[in-house]
Amino acid sequence: MITIEYNDEAFEYDAYALTRSFFPGEETAQRIMGADAEADSVRIFSDMEKRFVRLVIKAGAVFDHDMGWELSAAASTEREFKWKWKLFFYDCLSEYTGRILPWGALTGVRPIKLIGGIMAEQGREGLEEYLYDEYRVSRKKAELGIRISANENALLKPYEYKGHSLYIGIPFCPSRCLYCSFLSYDYTKMRKHVAEYLDCVEQELKAYAEIMNGERPSTVYIGGGTPTALDAAELDRLLSMACEYADAADTDEFTVEAGRPDSLDEEKFAVMKKHGVSRISVNPQTFKGETLKLIGRRHSVADVERAFEAARTAGFDNINMDLILGLPGEDVEDVKHTLDRVAALVPDSLTVHSLALKRSSKMTQWIAEHGAITGMDHEAAMGYALQTAEGLGMEPYYLYRQKNIAGALENTGFAVPGKYGIYNVLIMEEVQSIYAIGAGTVSKKVYTDGSGKIERCDTHKDLSLYLSDIQAMIERKRRLFGEDK
Ligand code: SF4
């Protein structure tokens, strides 16, 4: 256990995020500095007025020797000083551990937004060097980030600061995956509530059409959960509503997250085809059967292949596959095996996630019982993923990071040109409003006046609260989008 002790909360978030990245798998706690330093503590004493910070590592079981550093930068503003401190903190931990992190001192979820902003301000020349000097971003990640930023720019042009997209969340799944932190109820157990849930979605959609004055969305994304956990008749009703109130079939992209192969059959593919769904996801996560059982997916490797082939037979020509690198018990060879099997299927896009540990997932409990997940060379696995995607003629086109992400790496979307998931980029780069319907969803209004202002409103995560409070959920969105959308 590492304890971070500080006298000033100004550094709390960054100190925690970077310490977790340098010491993955170690439990990390924070507290205001007491009289005595605990063993295995990172002590941060700061005086913001004097722009001074002292950092001391006190050894115990995790740290093997004491060490201390000081930073003084009297001339800087508070904002500049905080950034200098973050870089200083990164350099100290890097020196202490002998490790470098691929994204350096960057701890945010949207590094591409940052890179794009810098590129717009000061141009492409010398950007890799700048990203290293200012943020310690490795050359490899800087090059990847610059490449993705250019791809995103081209993709986002028609949508930037105009129009909106629509998201509909269906919070039911065939079973709960070990790593899941999304809103997901067991479909079989909750089946009696599904019709009522769809009634609420219909009320939301009716209100949406009215609030948005019938403006057609640029893209429609039905996610969750697993929308295809619904039976064929329920799915038919849901997609009919999306087409009736949002013209979903006539938008630039109509995606259904058909993620779980154990939720798919020919009848549901036919329903999706009938309603003009243009893009689906069939997600293996891994091609190692043992891991699928361990993570609670309740489907086999053969089911993934069957579902994928059935989707192709049904006429889907834009199929994404999601993978997770760093699952328990897997090493680089397992990841290579998965990627080789994926390549043999030739999907149109690939989303490669690095496993992120979320407190709300069952994985946290699993780790407490079985120990931290170790043994994976994350960079080598991610390198093979990039190579595989390029071999399939794909380009990286969006990227985001999460807290507690394996290898301090990233999640990357790859696609063959023309088969990008536009909604994924829109949600990440926050250049277009997202109207979100369903339990546990977040709507986002992006102001179009160039101010960069974004306002959000959410809906209840608890299903029964959402069902009983549906009018209030609608009113929240009326307030957000109603007058000046
Ligand atoms: S399929 Fe997705 S939403 Fe459903 S339990 Fe698994 S990770 Fe969660």
SS3 for the chain is CEEEEECCHHHHHHHHHHHHHHCCCCCEEEEECCCCCCCCEEEEEEECCCCEEEEEEECCCCCCCCEEEEEECCCCCHHHHHHHHHHHHHHHHHHHHCCCCCCCCCCCCCHHHHHHHHHHHHCCCCHHHHHHHHHCCCHHHHHHHHHHHHHHHHHHCCCCCCCEEEEEEECEECCCCCCCCCCCEEHHHHHHHHHHHHHHHHHHHHHHHHHCCCCCCCEEEEEECCHHHCCHHHHHHHHHHHHHHHCHHHCCEEEECCCCHHHCCHHHHHHHHHCCCCEEECCCECCCHHHHHHCCCCCCHHHHHHHHHHHHHCCCCCEEEEEEECCCCCCHHHHHHHHHHHHHHCCCEEEEEECECCCCCHHHHHHHHHCCCCCCCHHHHHHHHHHHHHHCCCEEEEEECCCCEHHHCCEEEEECCCCCCHHHHHHHHCCCEEEEECCCCEEEEECCCCCCCEEEEECCCCHHHHHHCHHHHHHHHHHHHCCCC
479: pLDDT confidence band, cut at 50, 70 and 90? very high
Express as a percent the part of the chain with pLDDT over 70.
99
Please name the residue whose Cα sits nearest to atom 2 of ligand 1. Answer: 225
Our answer on whether the CB atom of 361 is closer than 6 Å to any ligand 1 atom is no
The yes-or-no verdict on residue 191 having pLDDT over 90 is yes
Please name the residue whose Cα sits nearest to atom 6 of ligand 1. Answer: 177
Q: Was domain 2-97 assigned CATH 1.10.260?
A: no
Our answer on whether the CB atom of 180 is closer than 6 Å to any ligand 1 atom is yes
How many Cα atoms are found within 13 Å in the side-chain-facing hemisphere of 57?
20
Expressed in angstroms and rounded, the spacing between residue 109 Cα and the centre of ligand 1 is 21
Our answer on whether the CB atom of 184 is closer than 6 Å to any ligand 1 atom is yes
pLDDT attached to residue 484: 53
pLDDT digits (tens, 9 = 90+) for 158-170: 999 999 999 999 9
Expressed in angstroms and rounded, the spacing between residue 304 Cα and the centre of ligand 1 is 15
Expressed in angstroms and rounded, the spacing between residue 298 Cα and the centre of ligand 1 is 12
Expressed in angstroms and rounded, the spacing between residue 271 Cα and the centre of ligand 1 is 22
The yes-or-no verdict on residue 376 having pLDDT over 70 is yes
pLDDT attached to residue 75: 77
Our answer on whether the CB atom of 173 is closer than 6 Å to any ligand 1 atom is yes
State mean pLDDT over 357-369. Answer: 86
Our answer on whether the CB atom of 225 is closer than 6 Å to any ligand 1 atom is yes
371: pLDDT confidence band, cut at 50, 70 and 90? confident
The mean of the pLDDT values for the chain is 94
485: pLDDT confidence band, cut at 50, 70 and 90? very low
Expressed in angstroms and rounded, the spacing between residue 184 Cα and the centre of ligand 1 is 6
Please name the residue whose Cα sits nearest to atom 5 of ligand 1. Answer: 176
Our answer on whether the CB atom of 260 is closer than 6 Å to any ligand 1 atom is yes
* Ligand 1 atom closest to the CA of 179, numbered from 1: 7
pLDDT digits (tens, 9 = 90+) for 21-43: 999 878 899 999 988 878 999 99
Tell me which CATH code domain 164-474 carries: 3.80.30.20
Expressed in angstroms and rounded, the spacing between residue 376 Cα and the centre of ligand 1 is 23
Our answer on whether the CB atom of 187 is closer than 6 Å to any ligand 1 atom is no
Please name the residue whose Cα sits nearest to atom 3 of ligand 1. Answer: 225
Our answer on whether the CB atom of 292 is closer than 6 Å to any ligand 1 atom is no
Expressed in angstroms and rounded, the spacing between residue 207 Cα and the centre of ligand 1 is 28
* Ligand 1 atom closest to the CA of 175, numbered from 1: 5
209-223, 233-247, 395-409, range with the lowest pLDDT: 395-409
Expressed in angstroms and rounded, the spacing between residue 3 Cα and the centre of ligand 1 is 33
More confidently predicted of 279 and 76: 279
* Ligand 1 atom closest to the CA of 225, numbered from 1: 3
* Ligand 1 atom closest to the CA of 283, numbered from 1: 1
The CA distance from 279 to 258, in Å, is 9
- Ligand 1 pocket test: pick from 176, 281, 323 the residue with the most ligand atoms within 8 Å of its Cβ: 176
State mean pLDDT over 99-113. Answer: 94
State mean pLDDT over 304-325. Answer: 97
